[in-house]
Amino acid sequence: MIVLNSNIYRTIDINLSTSYQFILGENLLENLADHLGLEGQGKVFIISDRNVWQLYGMKVENSFSSYSNKKEIFILEAGEEEKNYQNLMEILEGLAAFNLTKNDLVLALGGGVVGDIAGLASGLYLRGVSLVLVPTTVLAAVDSSVGGKTAVNLRQGKNLLGLIKQPARVICDINAFETLSDRIFNEGLVEAMKYGFIWDESMLCLFNKNIRNEKNTIYQLIERSVVCKRDIVGLDEKDLGMRNILNFGHTIGHAIEMQEDFRLRHGEAVGLGMLWMVRLSESEGFLREEDRGLRSIECFRKMQEKKKASQLLEELLRQYDLPTRLDYKFENLKDYILYDKKIRKNSINLVVLNYIGRAQLVNMELKEAIDLLDGGYL
C-alpha cells in the first residue's frame, strides 16, 4: 500500500502494449489532480455524464485548484443510448476547439459509457492522445477500464465502431460506489462473476449477500477482477483469439440490450447471456461437471453440493435481484447476433464452459451457431 496526502491506495501494474497502473483506493477524487502527473503537462479535457458530475464535479474541480492547467468540461446525459456516433463527433469537435495537443490529456470520469466514448475519442483525435480513466461504477472498474476496448453503438448493434486504446492510468475511488443505487451496484457484480466462471473459480467465494457493506471484500473483488482481465488480455491484446472468452454471455447479452432498447442494463443482460450459455454448455455436453476440481476449495463445499453450474449461477443472480428469465423467444434476438463482433468469414466463436473456472472457444458456421443458440435456455 502507498500513502499520499493521508489517502491509502493500492496499485496494480498493467503491462500490455502500453504499461500503466490501476490505482485503487478511497478518497481519491478529492485529490484527483495529484494522481494525474500534471507537472509539465498541458490542458485537461474532462468528459463525464450529468449524474456523475453533479455528485463529484465540485470535488474534481477543487482538486485542480493548485494547478495552472487549463480545463474544458464536456457533459453527456446519462445512459447507454448516449454512446452514439453523434456524441462522439461532438466530443471530437470539442477537442479540436480546445486545441488539444499530444501533450494534453483526456480524462473520463464516470461509468462504462463515459469511458468507452471518451476512450474512442482519445484514440481517434490526432491519432491518439493520453487518456486517464476514473471509473465510478463497479462494472466500469472490473471490466471496461482495463484492456483498452473503446466503442460507440450503431443502429445495427452494440460497440460496432471502436478501437483498442490503452489508458495512461486508471484511478478508482471505491467511495464512489456508495452513491450507486442497488440496481447499478449489483449489475456490476455480473462482470466479476464472469471471471469466476471462465478463469478463477475461487473468485465466486467473494459473492455474499452483504458484499456491499464489506469494504475489504469490495477491494478484493476489484483487485482480483483487474488481475484476471489483465492476464487474459495479456495473452491476446488485439482480440484475435483467446481474449474472446471475456465475451462469455455477451453474444446473447448484447442482443438482449438492443432488443430491450437498453431498458435492461449491461450487467443484467450479460447475466442472462451467461445463464443462457451455461445451460447450453450443460445441455450440449461442453460442461464436464466431474472435471471442475472445485471440491478442494473450502467455500465451494456447501456452495457446490449437488448443484449444477447453472443452478449456482442462477442463485447468484437471484441473490442480487438480477433477472433470470426473458419474456420473449430467441427469434427476437437473432438479427442482432448477426452483427456480433466475433463473426469471421461466416463463422463465429461461441464461448462455452468446460467447467467452472475454464471457458472454451468453439468456432462454428454461423447458421449452425444460430441453430445451437435457439434452444430455449431461459
**Among candidate residues 179, 206, 227, the one where a domain is terminated:** 179
Q: Is 289 inside any structural domain?
A: yes
**pLDDT band at 4; cut points 50, 70, 90:** very low
Enter the C-alpha cell of residue 136.
465510478
pLDDT, residue 288, reads 79
Mean pLDDT within 162-178: 97
Q: 212-248: per-residue pLDDT in tens?
A: 999 999 999 999 999 999 999 999 999 999 999 999 9
Same domain, 8 and 130: yes
pLDDT, residue 41, reads 66
Q: Which residues contact 296 (CB under 8 A, 6 or more apart)?
A: none
Same domain, 33 and 172: yes
Q: 285-334: per-residue pLDDT in tens?
A: 998 765 455 544 566 555 656 578 999 999 999 999 999 999 888 999 99
Q: 82-112: per-residue pLDDT in tens?
A: 999 999 999 999 999 999 999 999 999 999 9
Is the per-residue pLDDT at 197 higher than 50? yes
pLDDT, residue 289, reads 63
Q: Is 230 inside any structural domain?
A: no
Is the per-residue pLDDT at 68 higher than 90? no
**Overall number of domains in the chain:** 2
* Closest-CA residue to 145 (of 225, 29, 48): 225
User: In whole angstroms, how far apart are CA 63 and each of 177, 178, 323?
Assistant: 20, 20, 40
Q: Is 120 inside any structural domain?
A: yes
pLDDT, residue 306, reads 56
344 within 8 A of 227, measured Cβ to Cβ: no
114 within 8 A of 49, measured Cβ to Cβ: yes
How far apart CA 60 and CA 71 sit, in angstroms, is: 11
Q: Is 216 inside any structural domain?
A: no
Percent of the chain with pLDDT over 90: 81
Neighbours of 373 (CB within 10 A): 20
pLDDT, residue 194, reads 98
Q: Which domain covers residue 129, as residue numbers?
A: 2-179
Supply the pTM of this predicted model.
0.92
Q: Is 199 inside any structural domain?
A: no
Same domain, 369 and 263: yes
Selected residue with higher pLDDT from 18 and 8: 18
Is the per-residue pLDDT at 3 higher than 70? no
**Among candidate residues 179, 197, 216, the one where a domain is terminated:** 179
Q: What is the CATH number of the domain that holds 16?
A: 3.40.50.1970
